[in-house]
Chains A and B, each alone.
Chain A
Amino acid sequence: MGRKRKKIKIFPIVNYALFILIALMIMVPIWKVIVDSLDAVGVYQFRFWPNKPTLKGYEVILTTKALFRPFVNSIISTVLGTLLGLILSTLGGYVLIQFDMPGRNFFSYMILFTMIFSGGMIPEYLVMKQLGLVNNLMVVVLKHGMNVYNLVLMRNFFEGIPQGLFEAARIDGCSPMGIFFKIVLPLSKAALASIGLMFAVGAWNDYTTVKIYITDPDQTNFQYKLRNLIMDGDTPNTQYAIAQNTLFNAAVMSAIIPFMIVYPFLQKYFVKGVNIGAVKE
């Protein structure tokens, strides 16, 4: 008995020590970005505190009018992309666990096939053009909404739901739609939160879709604008009221901060046993 107690005491200490180390290793490189974003002078080397602290980098980003519209666009495309993504991946994932459904295998492979094979950039561009999606923010929503990888993951989570629950519901006369809303979704809060997060971050971080499909400044998103802000360093005429390096790093941080604000609200879904609790309610 005594031996066992000793073990339990040691483990948390080791665990905490390990995580402090991990956190440090993760934070040191990011610290460089944070310090640089708060320093009025551009320094190539690493240092722990800004030479000349300033919030000017963030101020420029907040007050640059050209960034406000893209920020709104980013929020719109992230919200819509996540909603569409969750709808399609839950519907698809749910249907794909219906092992008695004729054609299930065919549909599975048909879906999986698109994850591996693609028509390439130009055919995709021409299709989007025919659909009127070039220079249209909705292209970001659609590109991220239809994500096969996430669909298969979702299916995988659904598969973990005890089959008995489905049977019981069917006997009670529940329709497929009823089971979906009454059993599948409430039981998959953690899955919805994590996959929703993956959809959201994917859409939020999107740069390539915008780069390929959108040239109209009114339709671009925040991430794209920030990258251009950074790349502007290659065209010397574009100057902002702040050292390039400061702006650059403030831009990097600005793309992370919205996530840091939203994430804590999702965290409660990552707690042990959250799904099981839902069944008992």
Chain B
Amino acid sequence: MSKKKAAGTAKVHKKPLGIRIWNNRGFYVMLLPVLVFLIIMHYWPMLGIRYAFYDYKPVGEPVFVGMKHFNKLFSAPPFWTAFWNTLELSIIKLVITTVASVVVSILLNEMGNLLAKKILQTVIYLPHFMSWVVTASIFSLFLSPSATGMVNGMLRDWGILTDDMKNIYFLGDSHWWRPVYYVINIWKETGWGTIVSLATLSGINPELYEAADIDGATRFQKMRYVTLPALANTIITVLILNLAKVMNLFESVFVLYNDAVRDVSDVVATYIYRQTFMVALPNYGYSTAVGLFRSLVGCILVLVCNWLSKKVRGRGIV
């Protein structure tokens, strides 16, 4: 564990570097295949990052243009709206779907009946397999403001919407769009998110529960003092890993947003999509620059959270 390493005294007793490398030779060999794939699949294409500073089109040679693409990006006010929207939507979405999946997996773990548990597990994974396009068309149908919209119909039946009120346009109203977006995300990804937590839970030593039982712990005390701490490491790792992808938010927003709610829903990727929509001769330099910007933001978020995690609980994710 990292604690061992962190202890300053350990350094003094360490053997010479050469011997330590020799002692670990088996591990280097085992890492080799990973490194080979990593270099071929990731590092080699990374040479292309330099195009962020080029005009690079399908036809003709790349031309160096310095910071042109970044200047263009940063000088547009809608970009900054989109940037803050991206952070807000992604992070809130990440946190609530993670919390939801942890809660669901703990409750699922407490379920006694094996058959019910198995059926439920299968059911809650299903939405993950629906593409966003399909998901969006189903939810638009349910949330429709027209006379056939189910949710509006139910609100009327229950008297929440009275006769003098118009149907709610859930996806076309800035007040409603974000909550609805989060709900749809919870619907789609909570189940899938439980996979990792459930695998972690199955690794908890049953003796811990037995010991807690002997101490007379209640069900909730066991959840609080045995289950949750065991999950914490996994949850934090997953959260931090996902922070790297925060700026990549696209498809779920793209299929659900529209012109009327752009102020609350436009994200960087959708903004760039509209910006380049009319471009039939794409400038890969621009898209690389956008990609690099996204990566830098992701990088900062990961490093900051990793540092926080180290401060608070003495360990990061690597």
- The answer on direct contact between A and B (beta carbons under 8 Å) is yes
In contact, A8 and B219 (Cβ under 8 angstroms): yes
Residues of B within 8 A of A131 (CB): 40
Of the candidates B45, B124, B198, B203, the one whose C-beta lies within 8 Å of that of A119 is B45
CA distance A15 to B142 in the complex (A): 27
B280 at the interface (CB under 8 A from A): no
Once bound together, how far apart are the Cα atoms of A146 and B37, in whole Å? 7
Instruction: Say yes or no: B30 contacts A118, CB within 8 Å.
Output: no
- Considering the chains assembled together, what is the distance between the CA atoms of A255 and B131 in angstroms? 10
Name the segment of B64-72, B89-97, B115-123, B171-179 touching the other chain: B115-123
- CB of B24 within 8 A of CB of A263, answer no
Tell me how far the C-beta of A115 lies from the nearest C-beta in chain B, rounded to whole angstroms. 5
Q: Does B87 sit within 8 A of A, measured CB to CB?
A: no
User: With A and B bound together, what is the CA distance between A48 and B318 in angstroms?
Assistant: 50
Q: Is the CB–CB distance between B129 and A255 below 8 Å?
A: yes
Residue A175 interfacial (CB < 8 Å): yes
Q: Which residues of B contact A173 (CB under 8 A)?
A: none
Which A residues lie within 8 Å of B135 (CB)? 29
CA distance A77 to B124 in the complex (A): 25
Chain A: CB-nearest residue to B191: A26
B75 adjacent to chain A (CB < 8 Å)? no
Kindly state whether residue A259 has any CB partner on chain B within 8 Å.
Answer: yes
Q: Please report the number of residue pairs spanning A and B whose Cβ atoms sit closer than 8 angstroms.
A: 261
Which A54-71 residues sit within 8 Å CB-CB of chain B?
none
**B104-112, B159-167, B253-261 - interface stretch:** B104-112
Contact A153 B238 (CB under 8 A): yes
A99 near B1: Cβ-Cβ < 8 Å: yes
A165 at the binding interface (Cβ < 8 Å): no
Q: Nearest CB to that of A256 among chain B residues?
A: B129
Contacts of B125 in A (CB 8 A): 259, 263
Q: Are A264 and B122 in touch, CB under 8 angstroms?
A: yes
Q: Which of B78-86, B263-271, B291-299 contacts A (4 or more CB under 8 A)?
A: B291-299
- Supposing A102-B20, A120-B287 touch, asked if A111 and B299 sit within 8 A by C-beta, the answer is no
- B281 contacts partner chain A, Cβ-Cβ < 8 Å: no
Candidates B31, B187, B291; contact of A26 at CB < 8 Å = B187
Cα A7 to Cα B121 in complex, Å, equals: 25
Cβ contact within 8 Å between B318 and A108? yes
Specify which of B134, B199, B238 is in contact with A252 (CB 8 Å cutoff): B134
Which A residues, 116 to 131, have Cβ-Cβ distances below 8 Å to chain B? 116-124, 126-127, 131
> How distant is the Cα of A47 from the Cα of B244 in the complex, in angstroms?
41
Cα A95 to Cα B291 with chains together (Å):
30
CB-contact partner of A116 in B107, B120, B298, under 8 A: B298
Which residues of chain B have C-beta atoms less than 8 A from A176's C-beta?
24, 26-27, 30
Instruction: Write out the residue numbers on chain A whose beta carbons fall within 8 Å of the beta carbon of B295.
Output: 116-118
Q: A160 contacts which chain B residues (CB < 8 A)?
A: 200, 203, 233
Specify which chain B residues have a CB less than 8 angstroms from the CB of A205 in the assembled complex: 129
Distance in angstroms from A168 CB to nearest chain B CB is 16
- B residues less than 8 Å from A103 (CB atoms): 21
In the assembled complex, the CB of A89 is this many whole angstroms from the nearest CB of chain B, namely 8
Evaluate contact between A118 and B202: CB separation under 8 angstroms: no
Decide: A146 near B299, CB < 8 A? Known: A26-B127, A112-B318, A194-B198.
no
User: Do residues A145 and B37 form an inter-chain contact, with CB atoms below 8 A?
Assistant: yes
Is B42 among interface residues, defined by CB-CB distance under 8 A? Answer: yes
Contact B33–A87 (Cβ < 8 Å): yes
Which residue of chain B has its CB nearest to the CB of A160? Answer: B203
* Smallest beta-carbon distance B236→chain A, Å: 9
Given contacts A88-B33, A143-B41, contact A190 B318 (CB under 8 A): no
| Known pairs A117-B295, A197-B195, A273-B202; A96 contacts B218 (CB<8 A) | no
Measured between C-beta atoms, what is the minimum distance from A105 to chain B in Å? 7
Query: Cα distance A124–B44 when bound, in Å?
Result: 8
Contacting residues, chain A, for B287 (C-beta < 8 A): 120-121
A-B contact pairs, 10 of them (CB 8 A): A4-B218, A30-B130, A112-B318, A118-B46, A119-B48, A124-B48, A175-B26, A176-B30, A205-B129, A272-B109
In the A-B complex, the 10 residue pairs with the closest CB atoms: A123-B48, A119-B45, A176-B26, A119-B48, A194-B199, A114-B42, A108-B318, A190-B199, A92-B34, A190-B202
Known: A123-B45, A123-B49, A273-B204. 12 other contacts (CB 8 A): A12-B111, A18-B107, A30-B126, A117-B299, A118-B46, A126-B48, A142-B37, A152-B241, A156-B237, A163-B1, A176-B24, A201-B129
